[in-house]
Chains A and B, each alone.
Chain A
Amino acid sequence: MMNPHSIYLLVKYTSGGGGGHPHQNTYHGDTEFASFKNLKDLTGNQFPFSTLSRANKNNPALKTSTASASMLHRNPICYYTIDKDDMSKNNTALSNYQTLPSVQLLGRVRDFGYECGIEFEEAGTKVIDHINYDVADEGDHSRLAIDPSQVLNNKLITGGTPSSPILFDGIGMLLYEENELLLPVIKATSTAYSFFQKDKITEHPEAVGKSASLVTALQARNNARVMFVGSLAMLSDKFILSPVQKAGSPKAHPTNGNALLVESMLNWTFKKVGLLRISEVNHHVTGASEPPPYYTILEEVEYKIKIEENVDGKWVEFKNKDVQMEFVRIDPFVRLTMQKEKGFYVSKFKLPDVYGVFQYKVNYQRQGYTFLSSATQVPVRPLKHNQYERFIPVAYPYYASAFSMMVGVVLFSFVFLHFKDPALASAGSKQKTQ
Chain B
Amino acid sequence: MSGGTSLTQAVGSMFTEYDRCTSLKLKLVDCFLAYILATGIFQFLYQLAVGSFPFNSFLAGFISTVATFILTVSLRIQVNPENKKQFDVTPERAFADYIFAQVILHLVVMNFIG
Contact = CB atoms under 8 A, between A and B. Distances in A.
Interface of A: 388-390, 392, 394-395, 397-399, 401-402, 404-406, 408-409, 412-413, 415-417, 419, 421-423
B39 A404 contact: yes
Can you list the 4 inter-chain pairs with the closest CB atoms, starting with the nearest? A398-B61, A395-B57, A398-B57, A395-B54
Given A388-B114, A419-B28, A421-B24, A401 B43 contact: yes
A405 B106 contact: yes
29 contacts: A390-B114, A392-B54, A392-B114, A394-B50, A394-B54, A395-B53, A395-B57, A395-B58, A395-B114, A397-B43, A397-B46, A398-B57, A398-B58, A398-B62, A399-B57, A401-B39, A401-B43, A401-B61, A401-B62, A402-B60, A402-B106, A402-B110, A404-B39, A405-B106, A413-B99, A415-B28, A416-B25, A416-B95, A419-B24
A362 to B, nearest CB: 37
B65 A394 contact: no
B102 interface: yes
Interface of B: 23-25, 28-29, 32, 35-36, 39-40, 42-43, 46, 50, 53-54, 57-58, 60-62, 64-65, 68, 72, 95, 98-99, 102, 106, 109-110, 113-114
A372 B52 CA distance: 47
Nearest to A425: B24
Given A399-B57, A401-B40, A404-B39, 12 more contacts: A392-B53, A392-B57, A401-B61, A402-B61, A405-B68, A408-B32, A409-B68, A409-B102, A412-B32, A416-B95, A417-B95, A419-B28
B43 A405 contact: no
A388 B56 CA distance: 12
B68 A408 contact: yes
Contacts of A422: 24
A402 B24 contact: no
For chain B, what secondary structure do more than half of its interface residues adopt (helix, strand, loop), or is it mixed? helix
For chain A, what secondary structure do more than half of its interface residues adopt (helix, strand, loop), or is it mixed? helix
Contacts of B99: 413
B66 to A, nearest CB: 10
Contact of B61 (A397, A409, A416, A421): A397
A32 B76 CA distance: 107
Contacts of A412: 28-29, 32, 72
B50 to A, nearest CB: 6
A102 to B, nearest CB: 84
A423 B24 CA distance: 9
A99 to B, nearest CB: 77
Contacts of B57: 392, 395, 398-399
Contacts of B62: 398, 401
Contact of B106 (A406, A417, A421, A423): A406
